[in-house]
Structures are given as structure tokens and as C-alpha cells.
Amino acid sequence: MGGSRLSWLRDDAKLDRVRALMAERALDALVVRAPDNVLYLTNFWGMKGYDACVFPRDGESVLFCLEASEEDAGRMAWTSDVRLFKGYDELDPRPPTARVLALAREAASEYGTVGLELSLGTQSTDRMVGEPTTFTHDWFTAFGDVQDATPLLAEARAIKTAQEIERMRLANDIAAAAMEHCKLIIEPGMSEAQIAAEWEGFAHGEGTGWEGRVDLALGFSLVWSGPGIKTFTATTSRPVVEGEPTLFEIWVCADGYWCDHTKNLVVGELTTAYRGLERGLMAVYEDAIDFARPGASLAEVDRRIRAGIEAMGFPGQPSHPICHGVGARAHEPPYAHQAGGGEIQTGMVLAIEPGCYIKGGGGLRVEDNFLITSGGAEKLSPFPDGVVSV
């Protein structure tokens, strides 16, 4: 694998932060298999999710990589210790997940205290996307007496390095450019699915190779128009409605780093009722952005936004989270939740997303990603908030 150009130079600031947290917890090594954690520690984003990493507190990490991905690992991985395994091995016909577990267990056996992803709630998928490879029982029982490394990884990942921010800006720019594309072609009568496909096609087709810096960009969307705007529902064949918002709930993943936005277009003049809803929601949104400074309470962000939405006449809304971290997943800690704690810190990237929804259909949500600096929250997307007229 020698001689391949690394897509990103090793981010020592990130890896040193992880190792410092390991030292605090007296962990000798981490064993990770979630694709976003493998990416975070090695820069390798696998095709099928079979891959794993043993990351020691001292010394070189080990990446266990599917043989078919050898060339990708040579271009991406920050470790020189890449150990390949076959998708099918005629000498050992067990599934690849069983064989990579055996390899990881052997590599981890030289370390005393090992951390595993025991309380993993969600994970990003591999590059094949449609069929995520998940953990089996054996992954949680094969390493003896272990500690849960999930809180450590969540704490490390909450603060972004300069390289991570640079990578997330690429994802933000691709998402914004795809919205600019949709501005040019959206028209009444198009279906939600048709305009969603235009957005996703641009994100993938133009984002892959973006500025000569992105190997693979994937776009994900939920698009609803007018009375179709609801939460936790799928894009349908409903038509784009003139005079009412068409809402784009959108993610871009650029080589494993994500953005998470909600943007809105309207064909023609926005109705008076929706213009009033936009003014009220933007006031709540802008107040939350101004509040999102180092030292601010994450629980208070949630209370503040929900109180503002209740004052608009939408008590108990929204049903979805209104502030969370973004990075190697579209949704990752920290979460602003009244039952939780924690403070906003410099270096976090937060999605802020208030929304209010009309009974029976319709409503509005706004969302962007914000880098927390010493001076406040810096918006990362160049695409405007609110409802953009076309």
C-alpha cells in the first residue's frame, strides 16, 4: 500500500485528545467497530462495515480491513499497520464478521484494560449505506473484563479539531450548492420525491470530487411541501405547493464528515400566514443562536427554544431534538436536553433546529450548523435561513 497519497494528513490533535482521555480512565486500548468511530480514529471509511480498529494508548493503531478495500485503506488510513482479511476465505469459511473479531481479539490480548462500544446508541453507516452491518453478541463478550468506551469517544468527538471543521465546511458547501441547484428548477406540480431526487443527485454527482478534495459525497433528504410538512414522515409523490414552503431536511456526508440542515424554498409569494410563522420562528432561532456561547447550559437551550415555540402557540413542540452535535455522524453528542446536563464549549459544532407544526399538516422548521467560537456561534452553511423565494 506504499506510495498512495493520503486524502487527509493524520490529525494528531484529535488522536492526542483521545489518548489523554484514555489515560484519565486508565484504558490501555480501544477496540472499535462502528464505522464512524473507525473513521474517527483511523480516517478509514469502510465499504461494508466489517472493519475494526484496535487503538492503543501508546503505539501504532491496527486497522483490520476487508481485502477488497486495500487500495482505499492505502489512500485513507493514518496507520501503517493495516491487516487485511478476505470476504470469503476458503481456509476459514466463517463469516467475515467472525474472522475480524478473532483478529481484533488477538491484537487486543496484549493490553490490560480495554474499552469497547458497549452503550452505542446510533452509528453512521458504511459507504454501502443501504444495509448497515451491526454488532453481534460476540463482540460484547469476546474481550473479557472491559470498560465502556462510548462516553470517552462521545467526549472526544464533541470538540472538533481544525481539520474536522475544514472537512465539515466541505459538507456544508455541497449541501448549499445542491439547494442553489434546486432553486433553479423547482416548480409547482413537481412531486416532493422529484425535487428531493434533484437535491440528492446534485449532492452525490457534484459533491463527489468537490474542489478536488472529496472522494465520495452522499446526500440524504426528506422533502415535504405545504400540508405535507410533518415530522418523522417520508417524502411522497405530493406536489410542490405554490405560496407555501417546500421544506428540505437534508444531510451531506463528505468522506465520513456530515452536515445537517433544514432549508426552505417557496415558489411565488409566501402566504401571509406563513410569513407570520416564519417571523416568529426566526426570532426563536436567532435567540438560540445568540445564546449558544461557551459556558451556556445545554439544558437551557432546550428550555429556551421550547418556551419560545410555546409562546407562538405551539405548546409541547417540536417532537424532535432541537440542538445536537454534528461531526462523524449527522446526530451525535452533545444533545441539548432538559433531563441532561453539560455546557456548550468552544470547538463544538451544533445543529440548532426549532420547528413548529400545524395539526393536520403544514408547519416550518429552520436549521443550520454552528461552530462555537470564543465570540459566539458561527454559521457554517452559506445558504440562507428562513424561507427563500424562487
CA distance 322 to 288: 10
Give the per-residue pLDDT at 4.
Answer: 44
Question: How deeply is 294 buried, as exposed, middle or buried, from its count of CB atoms within 10 A (0-12, 13-18, 19+)?
Answer: middle
Specify the pTM.
0.96
Distance of CA 240 to the CA centre of its chain: 28
Length in residues, the chain: 390
Q: What is the per-residue DSSP string for 204-216?
A: HHHHTTGGGT-S-
> Can you list the positions of beta strands (E) in the chain?
29-32, 52-56, 62-66, 81-85, 114-116, 146-148, 217-225, 246-254, 257-266, 323-325, 332-335, 349-352, 355-357, 363-365, 368-373, 376-379, 387-389
Give the per-residue pLDDT at 5.
Answer: 59
Q: Which of 389, 76, 386 is nearest to 256 (CA)?
A: 76
How many Cα neighbours within 13 Å face the side chain of 224? Answer: 18
Q: What is the pLDDT of residues 324-376, one digit of tens each?
A: 999 999 999 999 999 998 999 999 999 999 999 999 999 999 999 999 999 99
Query: What average pLDDT is seen over the chain?
Result: 96
CA distance 150 to 253: 22
Give the per-residue pLDDT at 7.
Answer: 78
**Domains (ranges, CATH) in the chain?**
12-157 (3.40.350.10), 162-389 (3.90.230.10)
CA distance 279 to 356: 12
DSSP 202: H
Question: How deeply is 257 buried, as exposed, middle or buried, from its count of CB atoms within 10 A (0-12, 13-18, 19+)?
Answer: buried
Q: What is the pLDDT of residues 16-53, one digit of tens each?
A: 999 999 999 999 999 999 999 999 999 999 999 999 99
CA distance 239 to 187: 9
Give bridge partners of residue 261 from the DSSP assignment. 250
Give, for all 390 residues of the chain, the pLDDT tens digit. 333 456 799 999 999 999 999 999 999 999 999 999 999 999 999 999 999 999 999 999 999 999 999 999 999 999 999 999 999 999 999 999 999 999 999 999 999 999 999 999 999 999 999 899 999 999 999 999 899 999 999 999 999 999 999 999 999 999 999 999 999 999 999 999 999 999 999 999 999 999 999 999 999 999 999 999 999 899 999 999 999 999 999 999 999 999 999 999 999 999 999 999 999 999 999 999 999 999 999 999 999 999 999 999 999 999 999 999 999 999 999 999 999 989 999 999 999 999 999 999 999 999 999 999 999 999 999 999 999 999
CA distance 336 to 339: 9
CA distance 38 to 56: 13
Give bridge partners of residue 32 from the DSSP assignment. 53
